[in-house]
Amino acid sequence: DTGVSQDPRHKITKRGQNVTFRCDPISEHNRLYWYRQTLGQGPEFLTYFQNEAQLEKSRLLSDRFSAERPKGSFSTLEIQRTEQGDSAMYLCASSLAGFSRRDNEQFFGPGTRLTVL
């Protein structure tokens, strides 16, 4: 399977703990996106990378959140001092961005469901 993969699929943690999620994009894709989806809502953009550079961060991404893509391949999303409001599905997507927005079809992974107790 050469799709986008995410690990873990489920994470249960206690408030105040740190958690880290991993996303492996489709291998030739240069763009990687993180979205957050809360119950009953559509996904909301968090951040994206082009290769290893983090080009945009949403205001939703508080100081407790940090994302990296050190070698332009996989990415990690870390949440420090988790709060109950962080409970959500965290979705990763990747795309092969060219010179036109037409190229930007995003392929999504299965998501990591975080529950903060």
Partner 1 sequence: AQSVTQLDSQVPVFEEAPVELRCNYSSSVSVYLFWYVQYPNQGLQLLLKYLSGSTLVKGINGFEAEFNKSQTSFHLRKPSVHISDTAEYFCAVIPGDYKLSFGAGTTVTVRA
Is residue 59 near partner 1 by the rule CB under 8 A?
Answer: no
- Cβ distance 116 to 86 under 8 Å? yes
- Cβ distance 46 to 54 under 8 Å? no
Question: In the bound complex, what is the minimum distance in angstroms from residue 114's beta carbon to partner 1?
Answer: 14
Using a 10 angstrom Cβ sphere, with 0-12 exposed, 13-18 middle and 19 or more buried, the burial of residue 82 is buried
- Reference 89, options 110, 112, 106; nearest CA is 112
Tell which positions 14-43 bind partner 1, by CB under 8 A: 31, 33, 35, 40-43
Tell which positions 91-110 bind partner 1, by CB under 8 A: 91, 93, 95, 97, 101-102, 104-110
Is residue 49 near partner 1 by the rule CB under 8 A?
Answer: no
The letter for the amino acid at 13 is T
Structure-token pair, residue 64: 């407790």
Q: Tell me the site size for partner 1, rule CB under 8 A.
A: 28
Q: For binding to partner 1 (CB under 8 A), which residues are involved?
A: 4, 6, 31, 33, 35, 40-45, 48, 56, 91, 93, 95, 97, 101-102, 104-111, 113
